[in-house]
Amino acid sequence: MSERFDAIVVGAGPAGSTAALVIARAGYRVLLLERGEFPGSKNVSGAAFYAPAVLDALIPRFWESAPVERYLTRRVLSFMSPESSFALDCKTQHFAAPPYNAFTIIRPRFDRWLANQAVDAGATLLTETVADDVLRDGAGRVSGVRVRREGGDIEAPIVIAADGVNAFLAKHAGLQREFAAHEISLGVKEVLALGRETIEERFGLTGDEGTAQEYIGSISGPVYGGAFLYTNRETLALGVIVQLSSLAQHRVRAYDLLECFKAHPSVSPLVRGARLVEYSAHMIPEAGWKMLPRLYTDGMLVAGDAAALCFATGLYLEGINYAIASGAAAGATAVSALQRGDTSARSLSTYEEQLKRSFVLRDLHTYRVAPSFINAEGIQNIYPLVITSIAEQVFRSRGEPKRKLLPVMVSELRRARVPVWQLIRDLWEGGRAFLW
């Protein structure tokens, strides 16, 4: 026995729930499948949600009802040595008014809220259900999914795969390849209870203001990666994100790196006295443009992390906004295809065109070389040490004549044994990654 819907969306994360919301609002019968016991139960808890305007377009002033934590008015990027740090610190009140620039959120709460918006619009949510494979009709078109339940064939003329970084359905449909270990990172995260007044005093915040801090350098030791810290209302979300291949090569446990990060002199005062309330881990697609699958085929679209739509460049670490934007585009494409009665690959190709016109694929293409640049040895383990050492030399007072900046920089580069050719090459690669 098989059931039939107008559309099936697999994965009730931000991409899947947004797609289901758009389809349900158009009056179609849509099934939203979630493998966890509730939407968000499988996600890493604290997160930063950038560019909320993409959701505001679908749910005006959503922050008035959604479980957001704080709006971000401060971002800090820190370069770390074992004993010191040098930070680029941006704080602005221009981000303190609607529609805001970014929020911190607790993913289980936020994902559950967003899925409920789809349900309220008419979508059917089925939890604790794993989609193992796609179904195909006699012509070879995707025509539904096979789930791990009795009588588990569910049919629909269109399937949207938003089933996360492993992209099982996209692989079964021949749209995605197997990933290499250097293309995937492991994020390990803790949520620490600290108290609202303590957080606001410690981070210099007022009311619902928040801060997001990213770190690169010695906090991940020899392993390629970085770290982050976000402020929620009464908790901190912090963790490390490390490349899988580098983690295996150096035989280091990600949890040990997280403990080293928390013990760093620049971080330990921020988390002092905090109580652990949650620990979690999650896989992240970080190779950007190089990981993109084919986004559509007959009867099927791919969105969110399943389509590797994660913007991880060191300077930027975003994903929820790309998931929501791709989910909205997938939902709109599905509605148009159902209205025409044509769910062929040719009909669904407008999905990719929408993403190309939006910030999603434009950003990934613009910064297509940034992920490999960030994971280079110089950026990970050499230049953060040079930067912090230069800062120490500049600000150290010895009662001696001051040197100008260029001689100090040349001296520290020599001490770090960075040859001129390597510096020129890295400056060129950095320019390609971020400047032109």
Q: How many CB atoms lie within 10 A of CB 182?
A: 17
Helix 14-25 / helix 107-120 crossing angle, nearest 10 deg: 10
Confidence of residue 40 (pLDDT cuts 50, 70, 90): confident
- Percentage of the chain beyond pLDDT 90 is 86
Residue 314, pLDDT above cutoff 90:
no
Query: What tokens does 72 get?
Result: 């971000």
- The full set of domain ranges for the chain reads 2-61+105-177+291-357, 181-285, 371-435
The hierarchical CATH code for the domain 181-285 is: 3.30.9.90
Residue 402: strand pairing partners: none
Please count the CA atoms within 13 angstroms of the CA of 121 that sit on its side-chain side: 25
Residue 208, pLDDT above cutoff 60:
yes
- Of 46 and 258, the one with more pLDDT: 258
Residues in the chain: 436
pLDDT at 343: 97
Q: What would the mean pLDDT of 184-208 be, rounded to a whole number?
A: 95
Confidence of residue 3 (pLDDT cuts 50, 70, 90): confident
Yes or no: domain 2-61+105-177+291-357 corresponds to CATH 3.50.50.60: yes
pLDDT at 44: 63
Distance between CA atoms of residues 150 and 356, nearest Å: 40
Q: How many CB atoms lie within 10 A of CB 59?
A: 16
Contact present, 373 and 379 (Cβ < 8 Å): yes
pLDDT at 1: 41
Q: What would the mean pLDDT of 247-254 be, rounded to a whole number?
A: 91
Residue pLDDT, tens place only, 44-95: 667 999 999 999 999 999 999 999 999 999 999 999 999 999 999 999 999 9
Residue 183, pLDDT above cutoff 50:
yes
Distance between CA atoms of residues 268 and 252, nearest Å: 21
b/e per residue 11-50 (b: at least 16 CB within 10 A):
bbbbbbbbbbbbbbbbebebbbbbbbebbbbbbbbbbbbb
